[in-house]
Amino acid sequence: MSDETGDRRTGLRSTLASVGSDRGRFAIGNLLSTNAETTGMTANSGSKAAETTAAERTTDAGADSGAEMSAADRPLGSPRVDDAIIESRDLDVFYGDTQALQGINMDIPEKQVTALIGPSGCGKSTFLRSINRMNDLIDVARVEGELHFHGKNIYDDDVDPVALRRKIGMVFQKPNPFPKSIFDNVAYGLRVQGKDDDIEEKVHQALERAALIDEVEDKLDESGLDLSGGQQQRLCIARAIATDPEVILMDEPASALDPVATSKIEDLVEELAQEYTVAIVTHNMQQAARISDKTAVFLTGGHLVEFDDTNKIFENPESDRVEDYITGKFG
Amino acid sequence: MSSERMDLSRNGNDVGTLGDRVARYAFFSCAFVTVLTTIAIILVLINGAVGFFRQATLVELLGDAVSAGSVGGAADAIGEGLAAQVTVTEFLFGTDWSPLIEPTSYGVLPLVWGTLVVTVGSALIAVPVGTLTAIYLSEYADERVRRTLKPILEILAGIPTIVYGFFALSFITPIIQFFFPQTGTFNATSAAIVVGIMIIPMISSLSEDAMSAVPDSLRNAAYGLGATKLEVSTQVVLPASLSGILAAYVLGLSRAIGETMAVALAMGMLPQITTNPLEEMQTMTAYMVQVGISDVSVGSIQYQSLFAVGLTLFAMTFAMNVLSMWVRSRYREEYQ
C-alpha cells in the first residue's frame, strides 16, 4: 500500500506543480490580496448554488456502507468514501447561541491523510475537535447530529470520551509539551492508559517514529520545554503516537514553526499515514496539496462546501467558491 | 520658515514642572514610610533584646557612655552595661520558661514548642483542605459555583481573629471534650483546629490562583491523551503550579506562627513542653499578650523579655518568607 500511495502522491505533486505554473496564480502571495467585500458577496451567492447542486446530486451517493447522508447538507464532491473510519452525519456544533458547524456530512478514510482547509473561523478546527469530543471541555459547546467512529456514534450516551480519546490522539496548533522531562512527556499517555510495560522501549520507538530520537537520545531526562519549537511539536507527535491510537488529529501542527521544521512535520505526516488515519487542519493550501489524500473545504459560517480527492479539489473543484478560495481570490 | 522652527530643547519649564516634582516626592515618601517602619521595628526589637541579654539596652549604653565624661569612664560604663543578664544559650536552649514567678527562668523552648504545635497542627488541617478546595475551585467547579464559593471563603478570611478564639473556646473545645473528657478548657488541639480553619482561605485562594495560571493548552494535551479529570488535575495542573502552591503553604504557615488572639484565647497561658495536644500550652505570641496586659514595669527584665521573644518570632516568620521566595524561584515552571 505504501508504494502505491507514494506513487499516487508523486503523481499528485507533479500535477499540482503543473497546475501552479499553468494558471500562474497558485501562489501564496495571492492569498494576501483578498478583498473583504468580495469575500462576503461570493460567500452569499455561492451558498445557494451549493445547496441546489447538492440536492441534485444525492442520488449518486456511494451507498455501499455506513450511515446515510441527508440530502440537504450534502457537500459537493464525493463525501462518501469506501473505507471510512469516521463518518460525520448532519453534525451541528453550537457555542452558546452561535452555530459553529452547520450539518457536516463527510467521511474520513482509514490510513490516509484528510486535510481540512478553509478561511479562519470557518469551523474546521471545531470539526476536528468534535471528532475526539474535545469540545466537551468547553462549557458552552453543544453538539447535535451524529459522528460515527467504526460505525458507533460517539455522541451516544454510553460513550466514554476518555476512552474515545485513547483511540483518537491529538496534536495541537502550538506545541504544548508538559513541563516534564522529554521521557516523561512521551511516557505520560502510556502511564495514564496503563500501557506502561516496556515503557522505555515504547518511548524510544515513539521518538523514533516522530523522527526526533537522534536529536534527544542523550537528553531524555531534560525538560521538554528546552527543545526548539519544531522539536517540541515532534515531541508532541511522539507523545500522541506512543499510545498507538488509530486516528491522529492535527490542528495546524506547523503553523507556529519555521519552514525547515514545517517540512519535517509534513514528511512525518506522510510517514504516519502508513499506520494511522490522519486528519489535519491547515491554513496552508500547498501543505494540504502536498500531504493529503482527501481534502474537505470549509467556508464561512461553518459550512462544508466540498469534499473530494485532494487532486480533484485542487485541479477541478465543483464549487466556484472553492476554486476562488484555492486560487486565492478569497479567503 | 526658519523663524517658525520647532524648539524641542529643554528649557527648564516644559519638563519636570513643580507639580510633577511634588507628586513624585509625595509618592516616594509614602513608599519610604514602609521602609522606615520596617527598619525602626527591627532596631527597636534589637535594642530591647540587647537590654534583655545584657544589663542595659543599646540606647542606655550610649547614654551612660556620653554622661560618663571621660573615655575611661565611658569604657567602664559600657563594660558594666554589657555584663550578661540572661545568656543567649540559656534563652535559646532552656526548657523552662517562668519569667514572672521566682525563681525566674528564661528558656524560650516551651514557647517555641507551643508555637510549633499550633503551626504543625493547623497545617495538618489547612494544607489538605486548602489544596483540595483549590483543585475543586480551579478544575471542577463551574463558573456559577465558583462565583458563590470564593466570596464565602473570603469572608472566612475577614473574620477578626479574636472571634475565631471565642469560636474555639465555646464551640470546638466542647466538642473535643465530648470525645476526650480529660481535655482542659484551654488546649492546643482546639487552637490548632481554629488556626487551621483561619488559614484555609489563604492557602486555597493563593493555590487556586496558581492553578488557574496553568495554561489550558497543557490540560488539553492531557485530555487529548485520554487522561481523566482527576489525572489532569493531579498529574498535570498540580505539578505545573507547584511553586505557587508551596509558596501559599509557607505564607499560610507563617500566618499560623504569628497568629495571636485566637491562640491566646483557646490554647491558654501555660508554657510547657508536652506531647499531649489536649493540654494547655503557650505560644510566643500568647506570652507577649500576657506580659502586655500584666503590670510589669517598663525596663524590668520581664518587660525586656518581650523584645527577645519578639525577635525570635520575627526571625521565624522572616525565615518562612525567605523560604517562600526560594520555593517560588526554585520550582518556578515556564509554561511558555
For A215, residues 6+ apart whose C-beta sits below 8 A from its C-beta are: A227, A231
Given a cut of 90, whether residue B285 has pLDDT beyond it is yes
Q: How far is A20 from chain B (nearest CA, A)?
A: 37
Average pLDDT over residues A221-244: 92
Cα A144–Cα A145–Cα A148 angle in degrees, nearest 5: 125
Rounded CA separation A178/A186 (Å)? 10
**Which residues in chain B are closer than 8 Å to A239, comparing Cβ atoms?**
221, 225
**A237: pLDDT confidence band, cut at 50, 70 and 90?**
very high
Report pLDDT for A328: 81
Q: For the beta carbon of residue B28, count every other beta carbon within 10 angstroms.
A: 10
Cell of B165: 478564639
The DSSP 8-state label assigned to residue B235 in this structure reads: I
Average pLDDT over residues A183-197: 92
Give me the residue from B142, B221, B231 closest to A176, CB to CB.
B221
pLDDT in tens, A307-321: 999 999 998 888 888
**B85: pLDDT confidence band, cut at 50, 70 and 90?**
confident
Sequence letter at residue A281 = V
Give me the residue from A139, A177, A193 closest to B226, CB to CB.
A193
Sequence letter at residue B84 = A
Q: Which residue of B has its CA nearest to A187?
A: B225
pLDDT in tens, A284-298: 888 999 999 999 999
CB A294 within 8 A of CB A284: no
- Beta-strand ranges (E) seen in A81-211 are 84-95, 98-109, 113-117, 141-149, 152-153, 168-171
Q: Which of B225, B229, B241, B336 to mutate to test the interface with A (most CBs of A within 10 A)?
A: B225
How many residues are there in chain A? Answer: 331
CB A257 within 8 A of CB A97: no
The DSSP 8-state label assigned to residue A221 in this structure reads: T
Given a cut of 70, whether residue A54 has pLDDT beyond it is no
- Which value, to the nearest 10 degrees, does the dihedral of the CA atoms of residues B266, B267, B269, B273 take? 180
Cell of B83: 555584663
Q: How far is A258 from chain B (nearest CA, A)?
A: 18
Cell of B63: 547614654
Is some CB atom of chain A closer than 8 A to the CB atom of B232? no
The DSSP 8-state label assigned to residue B289 in this structure reads: H
Rounded CA separation B165/B173 (Å)? 11
CB A192 within 8 A of CB A186: no
Cell of B157: 478570611
Average pLDDT over residues A168-197: 92
SS3 of B60-84: HHHHHHHHCCCHHHHHHHHHHHCCE
Is some CB atom of chain B closer than 8 A to the CB atom of A170? yes
**Which residues in chain A are closer than 8 Å to B218, comparing Cβ atoms?**
176, 178-179
Q: How far is A262 from chain B (nearest CA, A)?
A: 20
Q: How far is A285 from chain B (nearest CA, A)?
A: 26
B229 vs A54, residue with greater confidence: B229
Taking each continuous run of H as one helix and of E as one strand, the counts in chain A are 13, 11
Report pLDDT for B15: 57
For chain B, give the mean pLDDT.
89
Q: Mapping DSSP to helix (H, G, I), strand (E, B) and coil, where does residue A282 land? A: coil
Domain at B105-330: CATH code: 1.10.3720.10
Give me the residue from A137, A169, A178 closest to B218, CB to CB.
A178
Report pLDDT for A169: 93
Rounded CA separation B15/B235 (Å)? 56
Best CA proximity match to B308, nearest among B51, B6, B24, B40:
B51
Rounded CA separation A236/A224 (Å)? 9
For A77, residues 6+ apart whose C-beta sits below 8 A from its C-beta are: A306, A307, A308, A312, A313, A317, A318
Q: Which residue of B has its CA nearest to A177?
A: B218
Is some CB atom of chain A closer than 8 A to the CB atom of B334? yes
Report pLDDT for A48: 42
For the residues of A50-93, what is the DSSP string, one character each? HHHHHHHHGGG--TTSS----STTPPEE----TTEEEEEEEEEE
Rounded CA separation B186/B168 (Å)? 10
Rounded CA separation A164/A170 (Å)? 12
Indicate yes or no: CB of B225 within 8 angstroms of CB of A189: yes
Residue range A2-326 in CATH 3.30.465.10: no
Indicate yes or no: CB of B224 within 8 angstroms of CB of A165: yes
| Sheet-wide strand order for A84-95 | A98-109, A84-95, A141-149, A152-153
Q: Where are the domains of chain B?
A: 18-85, 105-330
Given a cut of 80, whether residue A38 has pLDDT beyond it is no
Rounded CA separation A331/A313 (Å)? 16
Indicate yes or no: CB of A225 within 8 angstroms of CB of B334: yes
Strands A168-171 and A247-251: parallel
pLDDT in tens, B195-239: 999 999 999 999 999 999 999 999 999 999 999 999 999 999 999
Given a cut of 60, whether residue A9 has pLDDT beyond it is no
Average pLDDT over residues B4-9: 70
Strands A247-251 and A277-281: parallel
* H-helix or E-strand spanning residue A305: strand A303-309
Chain B from 15 to 54: CB within 8 A of any A CB: none
Give me the residue from B219, B223, B336 closest to A165, CB to CB.
B223
Indicate yes or no: CB of B333 within 8 angstroms of CB of A179: yes
Rounded CA separation A123/A302 (Å)? 5
Q: Which residue of B has its CA nearest to A165?
A: B226
Give me the residue from B142, B217, B226 closest to A189, CB to CB.
B226
CB B280 within 8 A of CB B271: no
Report pLDDT for A10: 47
For A29, residues 6+ apart whose C-beta sits below 8 A from its C-beta are: A328
Report pLDDT for B334: 58
Report pLDDT for B170: 94
The DSSP 8-state label assigned to residue B296 in this structure reads: P
For B155, residues 6+ apart whose C-beta sits below 8 A from its C-beta are: none
Given a cut of 90, whether residue A113 has pLDDT beyond it is yes
Give me the residue from B143, B225, B334 closest to A188, CB to CB.
B225
Given a cut of 90, whether residue B41 has pLDDT beyond it is yes
Write down the pTM of the prediction. Answer: 0.77
Residue identified by cell 488529529 is: A249
**Which residues in chain A are closer than 8 Å to B142, comparing Cβ atoms?**
139
Q: How far is CA A34 from CA A42, A122, A123, A325, B236, in A?
A: 12, 16, 20, 10, 42
Q: Which residue of A has its CA nearest to B241?
A: A179
Is some CB atom of chain B closer than 8 A to the CB atom of A41? no
CB B169 within 8 A of CB B190: yes
Cell of A247: 486516528
Given a cut of 60, whether residue A59 has pLDDT beyond it is no
Chain A from 59 to 88: CB within 8 A of any B CB: none
Is some CB atom of chain B closer than 8 A to the CB atom of A194? no
Cell of B162: 479574636
pLDDT in tens, B310-323: 999 999 999 998 98
Q: For the beta carbon of residue A45, count every other beta carbon within 10 angstroms.
A: 12
Rounded CA separation B187/B235 (Å)? 39
Q: How far is CA B40 from CA B36, B37, B46, in A?
A: 6, 5, 10
**A149: pLDDT confidence band, cut at 50, 70 and 90?**
very high
Is some CB atom of chain B closer than 8 A to the CB atom of A162? yes
Find the range with the poorest average confidence among A17-21, B87-91, B185-189. Answer: A17-21
Cβ burial of A154 (10 Å; 0-12, 13-18, 19+) is buried
Q: Which long-range contacts (CB under 8 A, 24 or more apart) does B35-39 make?
A: none
